[in-house]
A and B are shown apart, each in its own frame.
Chain A
């Protein structure tokens, strides 16, 4: 295994320090940095963590990550708010009428390197007030959850770049196969 240098940008969420913990435990060099401070793009992979912000396409968080997305060709993973930031950069849309907190069943729609050795359904933990209703351009859905008969997007992937987003929290202990998903992500370029 190659030891990777991973930068985690934390926009103020409760679980960003856990991302740092999980990436270190996977044997990688893990750096957790405050979202507002300047960061170098000299890393092997980037993770944008969660936070309390309620976003629109002109939000500060969206502009800030837009620069990173355009400057780096390294793998980028958005988690929770990070997922929403990436979605908005590429023209996705959010609604506040479908929040989700706690356990949620996830169903895989399409397998990808990110989901290596993950079963086609598993329980993940969530904590989001806003929910994606319009898929960003050039992205495809890898997994979803169900709200009655409606499908809620849970994992997305850019069709030609190594940019991924997950709405749930793979870093928390209660999410099944969370550590495997993070491990798959960090090893995408192998």
Chain B
């Protein structure tokens, strides 16, 4: 097995030697998230410098139910003791009522490094190791979205700003390569196979304005659907929450609907279109696109799913201000103030992503679980690939 044309054994040995050379006898704090990237980056350091590595995990308040405890347990299995830092109230306070996706991400990054620099001081450490990988800095540098773990690549000097230097041993790798390295060095398979979860967590899945009630509703439906989300045949499947969208139309939307009906071969009535209040991040022609979301309802919605590639091409052409097309998979009910989107993608490297076909029976189970929460009124399936969308909404 090779990484960039080098045998994996040599690739890993070179990384470990490099870390040893750079760090010498200094103390290093490791920022653990529970995902495979930070696990690999920290474990490589662990192999290089042993107990001079001090792993920490920040409880941002945006993790899923039980996630912190699980992570701590997994790391105990490989001999690493992880310190939990509870900073949830700090994050909630700073993010309350913030709406703009980039503003939310930047505040998150600011608080994230504030907390970490405290930890670095407490441990008298000189370095912070983190699991930044290629798509993180490529998207941040390209202005698509601010990943919370990218500083140096965009000209921020962590030493000056936060008082430590960074070690990013796997910054050149993509997710599929990281997983190969993880297997090789013996990371537990629960961590390797875990679906990616963004650093800012559920914050960026509470699309638009951040409110505690919205977060609680999202945590609840995510918990209710967890086992079904795992069984979707996807590289990543998750839920996001929005304000209940309004029915809306325009000349352009009518034109798009006409093309859609032509593509699926169904005419007539019974189609409804909804416009969301929030905006979502996309990537079009290598540039960031922060655009509108359109919801589409027709009782036999599988007609849309069968022709989704063609529909999306027309969608991008006719409605250039939009970045997402969501198909309603529930019947609209009047009660409730929020809508939930089910997002599922298939990808190896997370640079491009396709949307898998949805098993109708499974979809119905997910809808039933979600609608148990009376705060929810619509459930959608997002059929937008990356590009023109990104995987997460913000």
Q: Do A and B associate with each other?
A: yes
* B234 interface contact, C-beta 8 A: no
Q: By the criterion CB–CB under 8 Å, are B287 and A52 in contact?
A: yes
Give Cα A107–Cα B233 distance, bound, in whole angstroms: 30
Known interface pairs A14-B351, A103-B309. Does A50 touch B286 (Cβ–Cβ under 8 Å)? yes
Contact B286 A101 (CB under 8 A): no
Q: How many A-B contacts are there with CB distance less than 8 Å?
A: 94
Cα(A14)–Cα(B284), bound, Å: 10
Residues of chain A within 8 A of B309, CB atoms compared:
102-103
The interface residues of chain B lying within 8 Å CB-to-CB of A128 are: 285
**Of listed B174, B285, B287, B316, residue having the most chain A CB within 10 A:** B285
Q: Least Cβ distance of B134 to chain A in Å?
A: 6
Q: Does B332 contact A (CB under 8 A)?
A: no
Q: A17-B138, A100-B316, A104-B313 are in contact. Are A52 and B285 (CB under 8 A)?
A: yes
Contact yes or no, A99 B144, CB < 8 A: no
Across the interface, do B287 and A101 meet the contact criterion of CB distance under 8 Å?
no
Give the CA-CA distance A129 to B142 in the complex, in Å: 16
Of B5, B286, B388, which is within 8 A of A52 by CB? B286
From A20-28, A59-67, A113-121, the one touching the partner chain is A20-28
The count of chain A contact residues (Cβ–Cβ below 8 Å) is: 34
B351 touches A101 (CB 8 A): no
Which positions 352-394 of chain B face chain A at CB distance < 8 Å? 352-354, 384-388
Cβ-defined contact, A173 with B352, below 8 A: yes
Q: How large is the interface on B (under 10, 10 to 19, 20 to 34, 35 or more residues)?
A: 20 to 34
Q: Closest chain B residue to A96 by CB distance? A: B320
Q: What is the CA–CA distance of A127 and B2 in the complex, to the nearest angstrom?
A: 29
Q: Bound complex: CA of A172 vs CA of B385, how far in Å?
A: 13
Complex Cα distance, B261 from A105, in Å, reads: 21
A51 with B313: CB separation less than 8 A: no
A127–B142 CA distance with the chains assembled, in angstroms:
14
Pick from A14, A18, A50, A80 the residue with the most CB of B within 10 Å: A14
Q: Does A81 contact B (CB under 8 A)?
A: yes
Closest to A128 in B: B285
Interchain residue pairs with CB less than 8 A apart (20): A13-B142, A15-B286, A15-B351, A17-B134, A18-B351, A25-B5, A52-B142, A81-B286, A101-B285, A102-B309, A102-B316, A102-B354, A102-B387, A125-B387, A126-B387, A129-B285, A173-B348, A173-B352, A174-B353, A174-B354
